[in-house]
Amino acid sequence: MIDVLVKPQDEGKKLHRYIRQLLPGVPLSGIYKMLRTGRVKVNGKRGKSEQVVQAGDVIHLYMAEEDFARASKPARKFGGVSRDVEIIHEDESLIVVNKPVGLLVHGAGNEQKDTLVNRVLAYLYDRDPTAYQVFAPAPVNRLDRNTSGLVIFGKTNAVTAELAQQIAAHHVSKWYLAIVRGVLPERGEINVPLSRTDRGNRTLAVDPDASRRAAASVGKASLTRYERKATTGRTSVAKVDLVSGRTHQIRAHFERIGHPLWGDVKYGGRVSDRDGTDQHQWLHAAWMELPDGRRFHAPLPADFTAVLRRLGYTAKDLQQIETF
């Protein structure tokens, strides 16, 4: 018999899912057979597929040690994965990091190894290789490759699910800093429905009247509020309150009002490259506030600050931009 102690990060999972992740070498049909035939017990009592495991539960598996060794998940390996990750906050339930420009959150295509997820997991693995054998901390929000700033990882199954639900319900407040073209009004809001198109992976602003006529098929209600933090005349820096959180919402909304993000070629931001400031959209997830009142801040990265200086923003402007 093999005894396995349920760790806090795995609390809240259904028993069949927990066993499936503990024994990836056993097919799902085999997991159900083990449960059906009484080869899985929880705290000495026969385990039921749908029961929820709690931290401190002892799972008894009636199988040979060699079979368990073959079927159980081996320790993750992170050789060659960068540990370069800026930690903004960490406690026993979550970890908040400042994602740099150019790094994917999740793997895609040929880029599977150097991702923000793997960097965070490698950072945690270095401290305790066995801590996350079943549950792997996961991000609850995502940023585009060329958007920098705050990404939150849940460190337990329960916290990850709760944070994801809070974000989906718009109970987590998020503010971005964006460089936009032209002189932006001091403050305002953009209440324009958005829809996604496969052509060019774009988000399109929809005529509000058309949306009211066919809301379900034309676009989803989307609201962005903004405050101008500074301007040089050529560009402005906006603090953006992402109220609804659609894909590419900030980029599409600012294109719609004639102030596209600086360097954002996909959404109307093409400029000359003479000053080296238009490599990509300049957008930074700067602040995030959880329902419990905790607020996190990711300082502007060095390349973002350098672009602001090249565009003519002063030290006083930079201080104002960083002030909530």
pLDDT per residue over 83-140, tens digit each? 999 999 999 999 999 999 999 998 765 556 789 999 999 999 888 877 777 788 899 9
CATH of the domain at 18: 3.10.290.10
- Identified catalytic residue from 144, 198, 292, 303: 144
Residues 283 and 301 reside in one and the same domain = yes
Number of domains composing the chain: 3
CATH of the domain at 146: 3.30.2350.10
pLDDT in tens, 313-324: 999 999 999 999
Domain stop point among 168, 188, 216: 168
Residue 78 inside a domain? The answer is no
Domain stop point among 168, 188, 205: 168
pLDDT for 208 equals: 61
Residue 65 inside a domain? The answer is yes
Residues 185 and 147 reside in one and the same domain = no
pLDDT for 101 equals: 94
pLDDT for 241 equals: 96
The amino acid present at 188, given as its one-letter code, is G
Q: What is the mean pLDDT of each run of 10 residues along the chain (324 residues)?
A: 89 90 88 94 94 93 88 74 93 95 80 84 85 83 94 92 92 96 96 82 76 58 95 96 91 94 87 70 96 96 95 96 95
276: left (phi over 0), alpha (psi -120 to 50) or beta: left
Residues 202 and 306 reside in one and the same domain = yes
Residues 190 and 289 reside in one and the same domain = yes
Residues 296 and 180 reside in one and the same domain = yes
Residue 80 inside a domain? The answer is no
Domain stop point among 168, 192, 215: 168
Residues 164 and 177 reside in one and the same domain = no
Residue 153 CB neighbour total at 10 angstroms: 23
For 154, the domain range is: 86-168
Q: With beta carbons less than 8 A apart as the criterion, state whether 40 and 47 touch.
A: yes
pLDDT for 215 equals: 47
- What are the CA-CA distances from residue 290 to residues 133, 154, 155, 171, 267 (Å)? 28, 13, 16, 7, 30
Q: Is 273 a catalytic residue?
A: no
Residues 136 and 180 reside in one and the same domain = no
Residues 120 and 147 reside in one and the same domain = yes
Q: What is the pTM of this model?
A: 0.81
- 102 by DSSP, 3-state: which? coil
56: left (phi over 0), alpha (psi -120 to 50) or beta: left
Residues 297 and 279 reside in one and the same domain = yes
Residue 150 inside a domain? The answer is yes
